[in-house]
Structure 1
Amino acid sequence: MKYGIAIIGILVVLLLAWLASSNRKEIKYKPIITMIVIQIVFSVILLNTEYGSIIIQGISAFFNKLLEYASEGINFVFGGLANEGEAPFFLTVLLPIVFISVLIGILQYLRILPFLMKGIGWLLSKVNGMGTIESYNAVASLMVGQSEVFITLKKQLGLLSKQRMYTLCASAMSTVSMSIVAAYMTMLEPEYVVTALVLNLFGGFIIASIINPYEVKPEEDMLEIKDQRKQSFFEMLGEYILDGFKVAVIVGAMLIGFIALMAAINHVFELIFSISFQHLLGYLFAPVALLMGIPLSEAVSAGEIMATKLVTNEFVAMLDLSGGSQEFSSRTLGILSVFLVSFANFSSIGIITGAVKGLNAEQGNVVASFGLKLLYGATLVSILSGIIVSLVL
């Protein structure tokens, strides 16, 4: 039964992408089928094999160790702030982003990260049938973040077509930054976070190649990443420390605003309609939950989580999932967890548009023009990842 639902779900997602396609005649179906098979294979390996379990445990142990190191600095500065056994969310989940941002900066400074991004990007381009820049950008988005990645492509931005800009932005919205993966692992099971990272990488290519197909000529696909100015090591450290802290504060501020706003809206809806706004959205997203293989008995509650992620951000939804009153089966928890690990929400449209506009005003306007289509595609990527995982859980 679950396989039949999953197959129907995959076909529906591909159909929804096809309906929004800008050029259906240019769609290359062979790479799409290949990447779906790759997604299924990776899901089986990571979630259903001993080798996958070893990989997940290793990655989880690595990030747990990073969190331990981060806590040393946090405890030194904020040690007396928290009550015994009641450390605030900002200290335990968000502030470790500062330390992980520093590690990313060091890897970037030593040219290890650019080498990995270009190498993996080149390999991906052989599978997805897209340009080298598109493949590089997807890996770079995962490594350095959805807004920072455009800085590494500053020289190329003005030369890229609207079609290629869509694919770059879609990759940035469909993945998440490594700097906040550890934060996710404090709220979700590490195995689902890691699996989602892999699935979304390929899912972004699948949906973008349907919604936005095009051909890249060899002379248009030059990838040359250069730093604008060579920084000293300690100058770089200071920059990445501040960048990490800014991310932590910005996420914290967004959580305060979104959670407070959602509570207010829920209260107003309960007074007027005797139903919360989130519960109402749950009914709207219940068909999508069913499509992802979630049982009917859990579909509305799952729809609430999914809708919360779309209208607020993934952190708010993860907090609802991990600390909410809903009782989900382990399979539904896995599907929802994978769905939540991406930047597919309304606020990301503004973040990406602002990042590109700051580097190239004209291309920023181009990105703004397809903002909703960008969110539509990124949401389909999350749904597709959830469906793929439902096959193996």
Structure 2
Amino acid sequence: MEGHKIKTKSKFKVRHQKHKLFRANEPLLSVLMWGVNFTIHELDNVNIPVMLLPEHFKANVKIRIDNQNFNKEVMPSHFKVKEYCPLVFRAFREYWKVHDGSFRDSLTEPPIPMNETTKSSLPLYQSCDRRFVLKCITKEDVEQIHNILPEYHRYIVETQGDTLLPHYYALYRLTVDDKENYILVMRNVLSTKYKIHYKYDVKGSTVDRRATDKEKLNPCPTLKDIDFVESKRTIDLGPEQKKIFMERLKRDVKFLVSQHKMDYSLLIGIHDLDQGGVERDLTVSGGDMNTSDLSAYESSDDSDNPTQIGEDCSFDEPFMLRNSDRSTRRELYSLGLIDILTYYGMKKKSAHVAKTKLSGSDADGISTVRPEIYARRFLDFIDKQFI
């Protein structure tokens, strides 16, 4: 018997209560856990196409739950789940060797709230094993994802996944208490294994690019461009590794310019090997490193390459590089692009004019500038700070 086909426009299905309940402190997270479990199981019954077609980039799956027997303290009695482009995002997961079972296991345990919020003041979460970031986004962001998804897919295939762009794994709309919530699941740029001692979000801009006193009260605050410069910190990759890194970064930025994107950042996480510290038990099975792997990883000259243990590469560190041997420091760097969805349209063009007049400066300082200018300034800043 052939499996189900995912239709571009599908009607709501009404399902009865399952025996298994997903418990979280927030109803939204309970619904997310239920939705991930349901949609992953649905994919078991779907014919996986050899090639993605245009209709797959418009497809979705919807499910409505309407059951008064749920314990409302655990799970709402009424909610809806919509997964966007399930076969496309499954292709991304397969491309980066994140298997569906592993993905489901990570996201059907209660996610961990992060101390930070998005630009839109929406919450951020990470999966219980810290492999994935769950970002609440706006409806406009969902539209931007749909706009770039075909080209993003083409780019990932062309580069064979060798990119600093965000690794997108799933996109959901969850309707709870008649409120629509959009959640984007992506790979965590920061290490899932090693404690991050210093963290920076850099854009190459100098206007309003300093962490606030309140932000600095966090145990590991996200510092910004001015903080980075004033700390006199450099990212020491060594000449050969820097060349490879910058070529990859320039290629990714060129793609973002082609999509008219700006206001993205490079997220920098620094683990000081001399300070040490791990985020979680390294003896977990399923492709993770054990303690002997940790020692081997720290002494390896090839630590910028993902560690291949088993078929599931979910626990690799695709965004991690080791500092150069010549450096006086012993550091691991987590480096990846984030917040790539800002489109330079009329709204941003107007903001550029307003900020320029308000600050009395030119485009060298403010963050809202044309994609080409933003890209050039961004790359110049990274090139100067990396050695």
TM above 0.5, one fold? no
- Whose helix fraction is larger, Structure 1's or Structure 2's? 1
- Which fold has the larger relative contact order, with Cα–Cα distance below 8 Å and residues 6 or more apart in sequence? 1
User: TM-score category by the smaller chain?
Assistant: under 0.3
